[in-house]
C-alpha cells in the first residue's frame, strides 16, 4: 500500500506540472503583461464614469486573475465607486482559477465568463438602484474610526519599492491598513525574498522545459526511449515540488495576491514577471493538492483499486447536482484563491456539472475580498452574502431549465 500511495503522489505531481501548471504559467505571463499595460487606465476610467461603474467593474473582474477586482476595494472605501461596482467585479471574477479553466477548457471558460459578466452587471445595477449601501448602512464609519490610529505606525513601514498607490494616497488611513496592518509584499532582504525574487529564474527554466514536454504530450509525441521517459517524469515531479517550495518561500498559503503587490506590479514590469512566476507556483501547488486528494479518495473508496473507486465515485456524483450547486456557492464564500482552485480542478476531472461551476464562479471572489475584509468587515460580509445568494439563484434556475 505504501508503494501504491508513493506512486500516486509521483504520478499526480508529474501530471499536474506537465499537463496544467506549465500552460497556466504561460497564460499568467501573458496576462501579467496585459494587466501591466492596462490596469491603471481601467482604474482611471472607472473613477470618471459614475454611470457605467458596475459595467466597468464587471469588466475588471472578468480580467483573468485577481488584480482587477483587488484594485477596486480601496476605491469603494473612498466612495469613488459604488457598492454595486464591487458586487459586479466580485461576481465576474474567477480569481486565479480562471487561468486553470482557460488553459484546460477554453470553451467552458468563455461560456462561464459570459454568464458571470452579464450576471455581475445586472446584480451591480440592482444593488445600486436598490440603494443597498444606504439600506444596510454600509461604508460610513471607516474614516472616523481609523483616524484614531497611531500615525507613528507609518515609521514601521515595510515598503521597499517606490511605487504608485492606486485608489488611495500615501499616509492615508487606507495606507495604514493595506501597507502596515495586513500582509503586503515580502520584505526585501529576507531569505524568502531572495528565494522568490532570485530563485524564480530556476523555476522559470524548469517551467519552459516542462512546457516543451507538455506540448509534445498534447501532440502524442512518442519519445520512444525508456530512459527519456524517465527523465521526463522526473522533470514533472521536480516541477511540482519546485512549485511547492517557491510558494512556501513566498509565504503564500491560501491566497497569493495583496493590494500592495498589485500596486508594485503595476509600477515595475520586472516585478510583474516575477510575480507571474510565483503565482504559477501557487496555482501549480493547489492543482497538485486537488488532484492528489481526488486520487487518494478514489483509491480508498475503491479499497485500493482505482477502477472500482472511480465507478463508486461516479455513481455518487451523478445524482447529486443539487448538492453540487450548493457546495459550489458555499465554497465560493471562502476568501482566497487556493480552495477555489480545488473546486475548479474537480470540475476539470469531470465530476461536477457545469451549473455548479457557474454558481461557484459567481460566488467566488478570488483574493479580492481580502483587502476589503481588512478595511470594512460589514461591507465584505454583505457583499459575499449577495454574491452567494445570486449564485444559488442562478445555479438552480439553470438546473430547472
Binding residues (CB under 5 A) for Zn ion: these are 165, 263, 271
Supply the minimum distance, in Å, between the C-beta of residue 183 and Zn ion.
13
For Zn ion, which is the closer residue by CB, 263 or 295? 263
Supply the minimum distance, in Å, between the C-beta of residue 23 and Zn ion.
23
Supply the minimum distance, in Å, between the C-beta of residue 37 and Zn ion.
18
Supply the minimum distance, in Å, between the C-beta of residue 32 and Zn ion.
12
For Zn ion, which is the closer residue by CB, 283 or 359? 283
Supply the minimum distance, in Å, between the C-beta of residue 171 and Zn ion.
10
Supply the minimum distance, in Å, between the C-beta of residue 265 and Zn ion.
8
- Report in angstroms the alpha-carbon separations of 305 from 52, 157, 313, 389: 56, 55, 12, 40
Report the alpha-carbon distance of residue 306 to residue 314 in Å, rounded: 12
For Zn ion, which is the closer residue by CB, 165 or 252? 165
For Zn ion, which is the closer residue by CB, 38 or 160? 160
Q: Are 325 and 331 a contacting pair, CB within 8 Å? A: no
Report the alpha-carbon distance of residue 24 to residue 26 in Å, rounded: 6
For Zn ion, which is the closer residue by CB, 133 or 263? 263
For Zn ion, which is the closer residue by CB, 112 or 266? 266
Supply the minimum distance, in Å, between the C-beta of residue 298 and Zn ion.
38
For Zn ion, which is the closer residue by CB, 11 or 180? 180
| Nearest-CB residue for Zn ion | 165
Angle, helices 269-301/97-104, rounded to nearest 10 degrees: 70
Supply the minimum distance, in Å, between the C-beta of residue 274 and Zn ion.
5
For Zn ion, which is the closer residue by CB, 103 or 258? 258
Amino acid at each position: 500500500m505504501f508503494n501504491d500511495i508513493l506512486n500516486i503522489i509521483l504520478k499526480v505531481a508529474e501530471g499536474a506540472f506537465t499537463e496544467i501548471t506549465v500552460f497556466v504559467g504561460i497564460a499568467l505571463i501573458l496576462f501579467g503583461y496585459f494587466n501591466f499595460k492596462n490596469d491603471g487606465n481601467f482604474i482611471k476610467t472607472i473613477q470618471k464614469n459614475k454611470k457605467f461603474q458596475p459595467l466597468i467593474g464587471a469588466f475588471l473582474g472578468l480580467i483573468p486573475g485577481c488584480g482587477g477586482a483587488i484594485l477596486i476595494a480601496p476605491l469603494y472605501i473612498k466612495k469613488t465607486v459604488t457598492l454595486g461596482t464591487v458586487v459586479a467585479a466580485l461576481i465576474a471574477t474567477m480569481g486565479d482559477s480562471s487561468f486553470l479553466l482557460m488553459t484546460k477548457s477554453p470553451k467552458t471558460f468563455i461560456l462561464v465568463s459570459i454568464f458571470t459578466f452579464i450576471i455581475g452587471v445586472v446584480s451591480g445595477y440592482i444593488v445600486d438602484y436598490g440603494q443597498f449601501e444606504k439600506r444596510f448602512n454600509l461604508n460610513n464609519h471607516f474614516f472616523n474610526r481609523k483616524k484614531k490610529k497611531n500615525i507613528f505606525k507609518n515609521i514601521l513601514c515595510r515598503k521597499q519599492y517606490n511605487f504608485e498607490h492606486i485608489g488611495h494616497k500615501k499616509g492615508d488611513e487606507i495606507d495604514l491598513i493595506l501597507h502596515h496592518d495586513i500582509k503586503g509584499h515580502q520584505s526585501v532582504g529576507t531569505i524568502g525574498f531572495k528565494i522568490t525574487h532570485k530563485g524564480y529564474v530556476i523555476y522559470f527554466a524548469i517551467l519552459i522545459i516542462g512546457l516543451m514536454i507538455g506540448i509534445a504530450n498534447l501532440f502524442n509525441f512518442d519519445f520512444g526511449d525508456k530512459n527519456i521517459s524517465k527523465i521526463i517524469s522526473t522533470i514533472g515531479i521536480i516541477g511540482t515540488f519546485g512549485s511547492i517550495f517557491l510558494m512556501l518561500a513566498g509565504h503564500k498559503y491560501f491566497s497569493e495576491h495583496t493590494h500592495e503587490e498589485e500596486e508594485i506590479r503595476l509600477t515595475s514590469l520586472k516585478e510583474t514577471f516575477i510575480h507571474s512566476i510565483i503565482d504559477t507556483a501557487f496555482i501549480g501547488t493547489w492543482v497538485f493538492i486537488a488532484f492528489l486528494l481526488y486520487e487518494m479518495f478514489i483509491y480508498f473508496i475503491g479499497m485500493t483499486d482505482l477502477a472500482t473507486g472511480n465507478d463508486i465515485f461516479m455513481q455518487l456524483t451523478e445524482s447529486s447536482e443539487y448538492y453540487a450547486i450548493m457546495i459550489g456557492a458555499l465554497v465560493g464564500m471562502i476568501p482566497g484563491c487556493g480552495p477555489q482552485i480545488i473546486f475548479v480542478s474537480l470540475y476539470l476531472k469531470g465530476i461536477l456539472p457545469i451549473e455548479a461551476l457557474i454558481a461557484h464562479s459567481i460566488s467566488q471572489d478570488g483574493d479580492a475580498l481580502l483587502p476589503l475584509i481588512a478595511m470594512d468587515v460589514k461591507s465584505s460580509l454583505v457583499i459575499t452574502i449577495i454574491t452567494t445568494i445570486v449564485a444559488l439563484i442562478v445555479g438552480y434556475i439553470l438546473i430547472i431549465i
